[in-house]
Amino acid sequence: MLSARDIEIQQLNYKGLPSSERMKNQDKQAFMDWIMAYIPTKNRLQGPLQVEALAGDAGFRRYFRLNTQPSLIAVDSPPAQENNPAYVSVAMALQAQGIRTPIIYAVDFTRGFLLLEDFGYDLLQPLLNENSLGEYYQQAESTLLALQQTAPKAQIFPVYDALRLHAEMALFGDWFLGEMLGISLDRNEISLLDTVFDVLIESALTQPQVVVHRDYHSRNLMLLPDKSLGVIDFQDAVVGPVTYDLVSLLKDCYIRWPAEQMRERAIVFKAQSPHCDASGQQQFLRWFDLMGMQRHIKVMGIFARLALRDGKQSYLKDLPLVIRYSLEAAKAYPETAKFYDWFLQRVEPVLSAQAWYSDWQMAGEQPFAQDGVT
C-alpha cells in the first residue's frame, strides 16, 4: 500500500468538474495502487506518482496523465456505465487492421481501470485551418477507408439496426424538445416525426454496411509524433452505413467548412471506397445527407441530455451548428422537407429564449475567430 507521501494528486485539476465526476478518496487510493502495480518497466516514473486529470468525453470515463517517461494514460471507466470489454475488443480489432489506437497495457474489468498508451496533446481540431484542412482530412479519410476494411465480426460489432437508429432519434423528442424546450408533441407531430425517421432509417439500411466508429470527427482523431493519425473513443463501434463516419467527419458537430467543399470530398471518398462501386453519385450524396440528418437529430437529443442530466453545459454552444446541419439536409429532399417546415414553425420560435442559442443559419461561420486563430 502506498503512503500519502508517495502519492501526489493534483487536486487543482478537479476544479470545475461536476461532483459526480470526482473520485472519492478511497477510490483514488485503490486507483493509484492499481496503477503502480501495472506501470510497464519501460515507462519510468519521474518522481512520486502524479496523476493529472484531463478533459473527458461525453461518457462517464475519466482520464489521467501519469508522470512516467514515456507518459501513460490511466482511465477510470465505471463498468456500470461503460462497456469496457467492448473497448478492448474493438481496440484489438482495429489494431489488427493497422488502425492506430492506444496500446492497452493493463485492464481491470471488475473495477473499470485501464492503463493506456498516451497519444499526446494534439487533437486534430485545433490543428485545422484553411491551409491544413486538405492534408489532415485526406489523412482522416485514408484512415477511415482502412477502418472500413475491418472484419465485421458479430461478436465484436453489433448491428446498427432499425431499432437502434430509431431509439437514437427518439432522444430528440425526449430531451431536446421535451426536457430542454418544454415542447409536448401532439399526435400529428409524432406521426410526422415517425414518417421522417422511417425515411432516414430506410436510407441508412439500404447502404453498404461496414464497421462504423460512430463518432469519427476532429475531436476523436489525434496527430501522433510520427505525423500519423491516432483514433480514440471507438468503443461504440458497430456494423452500419458506409456514409456514417464520413458525414461525422465532414459535417463535424464542432466545426464547419464550406458545404460544397465537403460534398466534393465525399464524392472523392466514394470513388476510393471498394464498398460503393454499385452506387451512383447522386445516390451516394443522398445517403450522405440523410445519414447526417439522422446523426444530427440524435445529437440534438444527446447534447441536451449531457447538459441537463450530466451537467456538461459546454455541449450547448454547439447546438446551433447541429441544428443547421439538420435543417440544411431536411430542406434538400422532398421526403424530409416537412421536418424543415415543422421545425421552423414549431421549434424555432422557442429557441430564442435559450441562453445558449444563436442564429443557426450562421452557425459555424468563421469557426476559429473566437479562438483568435485565423
Going by pLDDT thresholds of 50, 70 and 90, the confidence category of residue 25 is low
Strands 229-231 and 221-223: antiparallel
At 40-53, the pLDDT tens digits run 999 999 889 989 99
Using CA atoms, how far apart are residues 244 and 207, in angstroms rounded to an integer?
A: 10
44 neighbors 68 (Cβ within 8 angstroms): yes
pLDDT band at 23 (very low <50, low <70, confident <90, very high): low
pLDDT of amino acid 244: 98
Kindly indicate the confidence band of residue 61, based on its pLDDT and cuts at 50, 70 and 90. confident
For residue 123, the 8-state DSSP code is B
Cis peptide upstream of residue 320 (ω within 30 degrees of 0): no
Whether pTM exceeds 0.85: yes
Q: How confident is the model at residue 143 (pLDDT cuts 50, 70, 90)?
A: very high
Helices (H) and strands (E) in the chain, counts: 12, 12
Q: Sorting pLDDT into bands at 50, 70 and 90, what band is 366?
A: low
Three cell numbers written together for 221? 482523431
Residue ranges and CATH numbers for the domains of the chain are 8-117 (3.30.200.20), 124-365 (3.90.1200.10)
pLDDT band at 26 (very low <50, low <70, confident <90, very high): low
pLDDT at 103 over 90: yes
pLDDT at 58: 60
Q: What is the mean pLDDT of residues 121-126?
A: 94
Residue pLDDT, tens place only, 63-95: 999 999 999 999 999 999 999 999 999 999 999
Cα separation, 329 vs 347, in Å, equals 17
Residue 27 — pLDDT band, cuts 50, 70, 90? confident
Helix (H) or strand (E) holding 117: strand 113-117
- Locate all alpha helices (DSSP H) within 9-111, ordered by sequence: 25-38, 84-96
Mean pLDDT of all residues in 242-257 = 97
Q: Hey, what's the cell of 364?
A: 459555424
Q: Would you place residue 1 in the very low, low, confident or very high pLDDT band (cuts 50, 70, 90)?
A: very low
